Amino acid sequence: MKEASMKHGILLLSLGLSACAGWMQRESSVEVSEVARSYQCNSQGPETRVSLMPDGAAVAAWQQQRGVEFDTARLPQGPFALVEMGERNSGGYGLAVSRLAGRRGDTLILRGTFVAPGADEVSTQAITTPCVLVSLPREGYATVEIVDQDGRLRGRAAAAP
């Protein structure tokens, strides 16, 4: 009786695990590249944002609107993600996006390192708004997310249909 009960339990556990596997999707690796950065992107507000831009013309329009100077003559074709750290009250803040991104389902996951000055560090007393422009794969995703070094979601944007 115990053996039959044990086999039944193992069968139920196996079925439960295979059901879980259906909704848990594996993440595949994708390469992206950081193509420009600035410490003054004139962001509004303290929150991290992700904006998607289809091509260099969209990047140039954003630059003109914000007064930011990226060298758009050497940009790849696009699309791009602009990751803005948000407004900070001093210098010493920065952002870097890894070349190794992930894809889970229809979501492209960028991995960022968000840097803040230490409590005892001397930094410029001026508002900074760091941002990074990242070249993305042409297709295969509907959403782009930025996740920090602690695995926390910092921002998300939906790709245009």
Q: What is the average pLDDT across 109-114?
A: 96
Residue from 127, 132, 118, 122 nearest 87 by CA: 127
3-state DSSP call for residue 19? helix
132 phi/psi in degrees, rounded to 5: -135, 135
At residue 143 the predicted structure's pLDDT band, cuts being 50, 70 and 90, is very high
Name the residue with tokens 């590249």: 33
Residue from 75, 136, 150 nearest 107 by CA: 136
What per-residue confidence (pLDDT) applies to 123? Answer: 66
3-state DSSP call for residue 11? helix
Segment 7-56, tens digit of pLDDT? 444 433 443 443 444 445 688 999 999 999 999 999 989 999 999 999 99
Gap between the Cα atoms of 103 and 144, Å rounded: 9
The ranges assigned to domains in the chain are 25-158
pTM of the model: 0.80
